[in-house]
Structure 1
Amino acid sequence: MAINLDSLSPAELQALIKSAEAQMHSARKNHIQEVRTKIEGLLNSAGLTIDEVYPRRGGQGSKGPKAAVAPKYRNPESPAQTWSGRGKRPLWFSEALKKKGVTADSMLIGGAATKSAPAKKVAPKATKKAPAKKPAKKK
């Protein structure tokens, strides 16, 4: 069925496009249903399920509940407030860091960080230097 597109008006072309899109949508739905029926037939004849053939990751699928992360920091002024260290910093954490002597390490759960002695400076290894080049003699 050949259609001469040159002879159609813009309105007729628009109607043809809409009709073709509707036909394409219908044909795609039918094709998907045919493939689905074939797959289900193969699975049934083999005694398998789709989950056995294509297991989902994480056991609960991608939209399952996420495991809670253990808190890493505790508010020194209100121990009920904790933060896992992920995501945006809570206001209490940012405010505490502004105070003199308070560091992120000092708010760690499981013991505040102790001040350790400053690290010793280690001298760099001595390397053998190449002899300096002598300037070329002028003739």
Structure 2
Amino acid sequence: MAVDIKNLNHSQLTELIAKAQSRQGELQKEKVTRLRDKINAMIKEEGLTFDDVFGQRAPKSKRAGTTVAAKYRNPADPEQVWSGRGKRPRWFNDALKAGTSEKDMLA
């Protein structure tokens, strides 16, 4: 099927491109599905499971995205807190330079 694109206007070309990209995506999904089916058939033919071949997937970490309780509090502004993890905040370093000990800033 040959399309003479020289006779198409801008909107027709845009529509043709959108349809072609959509079809390209469909073909890609079909290809992936066929390959997945082939792999599963081969694994089943050998009497194995997916996990036997590729290993078990690691469960998602329960700690991901959790917040940590504040360990230090800014004596000058109690709203500012730090968990003690990661880079020290500027207020913490400034307080240390001013002579405040870490123990004095414990929350």
Q: Give yes or no for TM over 0.5.
A: yes
Distance of 1:10 and 1:94 partners within structure 2: 61
Residue identity over aligned pairs, in percent, reads: 32
User: 2:25, 2:32 → 1: CA distance?
Assistant: 11
Residue 58 of structure 2 corresponds to 60
Q: Whole-Å Cα distance in 1 between the matches of residues 25 and 16 of structure 2?
A: 14
3-state SS in 2 of match to 1:3: coil
Matches within 5 A, 1:95-106: 96-100=95-99, 102=101
**For residues 44 and 87 of structure 1, what CA distance do their matches in structure 2 show?**
47
Q: Which residue number corresponds to residue 2 of structure 2? A: 2
Please tell me whether residue 36 in structure 1 is matched to residue 33 in structure 2: no
User: Unaligned 5+ residue runs, structure 1?
Assistant: 68-73, 76-80, 107-139
Q: Quote the residue 1:94 is aligned against.
A: 93
Which structure has the bigger radius of gyration?
A: 1
CA displacement at 1:97 relative to structure 2 = 1.2
Q: Which has the higher contact order (CA 8 A, sep 6+)?
A: 2
Counterpart residue identity of residue 97, structure 1: L
CA distance in 2, matches of 1:90, 1:65: 27
Question: Would the alpha carbon gap of residues 11 and 93 (structure 1) be closer, same or farther in structure 2, given more than 3 Å must change?
Answer: closer
What is the RMSD of the two structures over their aligned residues, measured on CA atoms?
3.5
Compared CA separation, residues 52 and 92, structure 1 to 2 (3 A): farther
Distance 1:82 1:33, change over 3 A: closer
Q: Which amino acid aligns with 2:16?
A: L
Counterparts of residues 1-139 of structure 1 (less than 5 Å): 1-55=1-55, 60-61=58-59, 63-66=60-63, 83=84, 86-89=85-88, 93-94=92-93, 96-100=95-99, 102=101
Q: TM-score, normalised by structure 2?
A: 0.59
TM-score (normalizing by structure 1): 0.48
